[in-house]
């Protein structure tokens, strides 16, 4: 349902959100999120260009979130790298379809519900979950 790019961006942001006390290098992020470093670098660049992430060069540098985890939602991250494509007009280009047909109307309702659900979950909600499994940590539990 989500693109690989959106998934990778969410992994990186959740990882940074769980370790807000210091910037994380691309190598550390790639290792912890299991995202290929080359792909992750492009995703991080998109997040930086959008202002969600800041990069600090040099020793002790790396990537860190620009916003507090309680202000940043799953939808913010997804919309930064690959927004959910809502259906506004007939995808087939049929001139007789002046409004959405029942199929595309239902699909768009599902996309709308997904947007609302993602907008209601902050990165803080993810990283401070009471779930016994820690996000992005192999074999770790609370």
Provide the pLDDT for residue 91: 81
Higher pLDDT, 102 or 46: 46
Residue 136 pLDDT more than 80?
no
Q: 39: closest CA among 81, 100, 99?
A: 81
CA quadruple 68, 66, 142, 39: dihedral, nearest 10 = 150
Give residue 131's pLDDT band: very low, low, confident or very high (50, 70, 90): confident
Average pLDDT over the chain, rounded to whole? 90
Domains in the chain, ordered, with CATH?
4-83+123-127 (1.10.10.10)
pLDDT digits (tens, 9 = 90+) for 66-104: 999 999 999 999 999 999 988 888 888 888 888 888 888
Provide the pLDDT for residue 134: 64
Given the structure tokens 């959740």, which residue do they identify?
14
Task: Look at the pTM and tell me if it is higher than 0.75.
Answer: yes
């Amino acid at each position: 349902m989500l693109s690989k790019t959106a998934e990778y961006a969410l992994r990186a942001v959740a990882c940074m959100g769980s370790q807000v006390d210091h910037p994380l290098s691309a190598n550390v992020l790639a290792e912890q999120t299991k995202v290929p470093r080359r792909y992750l670098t492009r995703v991080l660049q998109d997040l930086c260009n959008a202002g969600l992430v800041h990069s600090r060069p040099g020793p002790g540098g790396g990537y860190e979130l620009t916003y507090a985890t309680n202000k940043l939602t799953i939808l913010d991250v997804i919309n930064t790298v690959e927004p959910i494509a809502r259906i506004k007009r007939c995808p087939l280009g049929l001139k007789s379809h002046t409004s959405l047909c029942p199929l595309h109307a239902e699909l768009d309702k599902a996309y709308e519900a997904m947007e609302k659900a993602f907008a209601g979950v902050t990165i803080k909600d993810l990283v401070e979950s009471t779930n016994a499994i820690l996000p992005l940590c192999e074999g770790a539990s609370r």
